[in-house]
């Protein structure tokens, strides 16, 4: 008899439980995977990339789907938030922005930066500060619609997953939105914002051109202004002065003769500031290691290392001079002055801080080749 009140209490309690009354099925939500920012005077423009949900999930046979479907929407408004709200007019279902992994910035929007973009994105709690950020000179819709290999999702391209590509071929460091904002606002810091474009003919699919996304240089920003854009080749010396380089090839030449190819990694860089109380000069000390991946002739290791060090110094100076040609400090030399001698940096005029060829006083490189693959090299 005692069980009857207990059972009655349980039934009443179960009746009062509401359950997940606000739960929604994932197939009834539009997940935004990437956003694009642009400007068409006098309006802000935002692009939203939607991916077929089944394309994001891992499947054993992506070819059987006949190609991943991508939708790109365009919203226009007097502010960025109004442009985002403009997309809701045709959204059909609820749109969720918390899954954005990439932000594309058009050249016109970059010239307006921050111009309302940062305020709207930062205040909107659904968008995190972790997405990758790329600039582009091409229409953002073309970048968003660029296909991946094997009919996979665009999440398997360098626009959404640049780190994997960078680990194999370190050239221009991809940056996240929080790093971009930090570098943009940090005094004496230079922003290296990667540019994405489309290479229409490097790959073919069934004997037909299959366009793919490619790195295409970077926009250079400092003092909260755009200094200009440098080509991919112009930035070849940058990889030797940042500690993030994982693996990057160096073509070793001497007197126009190709000696071999080495793969270099893990540079340790220190910038010495000289004459900090007057017009500053900078001295680079770089230590890194690498492997021989290709060798032509019987070049001794000592000669190969010496030629490689000379090539690296030439590339660093080449990139440095490309930077000062647009009045930009791509090697972050002034930032070293800012960190090491803040009082001197604070009182110096722009003319004193300005860089020229003589500002880069010297470059010392220590290179150690760890192995030469399956073949021995001549000592």
Going 332 to 335 to 339 to 345, the CA torsion angle's sign is positive
DSSP symbols for 298-352: ---HHHHHHHHHHHHHHHHHHHHHHHHHTT--TT-HHHHHHHH-HHHHHH--HHH
Which of 58-72, 119-133, 291-305 comes out lowest in average pLDDT? 58-72
E strand or H helix at 179, and its extent?
helix 177-185
| pLDDT tens per residue, range 70-111 | 899 999 999 999 999 999 999 988 999 999 999 999 999 999
pLDDT of residue 184: 96
Give the residue with greater pLDDT, 14 vs 89.
89
pLDDT of residue 296: 87
Provide the pLDDT confidence category of residue 64 given band limits of 50, 70 and 90.
Answer: very low
Q: Is 10 left (phi over 0), alpha (psi -120 to 50) or beta?
A: alpha
Are 120 and 150 within 8 A, CB to CB?
no
Give the residue with greater pLDDT, 6 vs 359.
359
Q: How far, in Å, CA of 120 to CA of 299, rounded?
A: 58
pLDDT of residue 137: 96
pLDDT of residue 13: 67
Are 105 and 135 within 8 A, CB to CB?
yes
Q: How far, in Å, CA of 279 to CA of 354, rounded?
A: 9
Single pTM value for the model = 0.88
| pLDDT tens per residue, range 287-296 | 999 999 999 8
Are 313 and 250 within 8 A, CB to CB?
no
Residues 6+ apart with CB under 8 A from 93: 28, 29, 30
Percent of the chain beyond pLDDT 70? Answer: 87
Q: For the chain, what is the mean pLDDT? A: 89
Q: 């793919």: which residue's tokens?
A: 212
Q: 């460091």: which residue's tokens?
A: 173
pLDDT of residue 358: 93
Are 235 and 208 within 8 A, CB to CB?
no
| pLDDT tens per residue, range 194-222 | 999 999 999 999 999 999 999 999 999 99
pLDDT of residue 378: 53
């Amino acid at each position: 008899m005692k069980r009857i009140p207990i059972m009655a209490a349980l039934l009443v309690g179960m009746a009062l439980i509401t359950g997940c009354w606000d739960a929604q099925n994932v197939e009834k939500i539009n997940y935004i995977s990437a956003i694009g920012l642009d400007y068409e005077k006098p309006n802000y423009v935002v692009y939203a990339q939607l991916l077929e949900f089944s394309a994001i999930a891992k499947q054993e046979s992506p070819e059987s789907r006949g190609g991943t479907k991508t939708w790109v929407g365009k919203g226009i408004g007097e502010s960025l938030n109004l442009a985002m709200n403009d997309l809701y007019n045709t959204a059909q279902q609820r749109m969720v922005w918390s899954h954005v992994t990439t932000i594309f910035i058009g050249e016109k929007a970059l010239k307006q930066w921050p111009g309302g973009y940062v305020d709207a994105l930062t205040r909107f709690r659904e968008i995190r500060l972790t997405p990758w950020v790329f600039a582009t000179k091409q229409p953002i819709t073309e970048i968003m619609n660029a296909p991946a290999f094997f009919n996979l999702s665009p999440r398997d391209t360098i626009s959404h997953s640049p780190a994997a590509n960078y680990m194999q071929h370190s050239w221009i460091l991809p940056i996240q939105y929080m790093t971009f904002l930090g570098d943009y606002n940090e005094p004496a810091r230079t922003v290296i914002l990667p540019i994405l474009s489309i290479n229409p003919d490097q790959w073919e699919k069934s004997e037909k051109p299959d366009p793919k996304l490619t790195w295409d240089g970077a926009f250079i920003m400092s003092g909260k202004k755009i200094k200009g854009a440098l080509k991919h080749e112009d930035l070849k010396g940058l990889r030797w002065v940042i500690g993030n380089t994982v693996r990057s090839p160096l073509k070793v030449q001497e007197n126009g003769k190709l000696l071999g190819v080495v793969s270099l990694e893990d540079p340790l860089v220190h910038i010495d500031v000289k004459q900090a109380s007057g017009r500053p000069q900078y001295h680079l000390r770089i230590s890194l290691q690498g492997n021989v991946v290709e060798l032509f002739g019987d070049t001794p290791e000592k000669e190969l290392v010496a030629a490689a060090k000379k090539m690296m110094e030439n590339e660093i100076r080449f990139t440095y001079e490309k930077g000062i040609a647009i009045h930009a400090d791509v090697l972050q030399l002034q930032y070293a002055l800012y960190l090491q001698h803040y009082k001197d940096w604070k009182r110096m005029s722009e003319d004193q801080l300005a860089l020229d060829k003589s500002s880069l006083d010297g470059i010392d490189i220590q290179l150690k080749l760890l192995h030469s693959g399956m073949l021995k090299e001549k000592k």
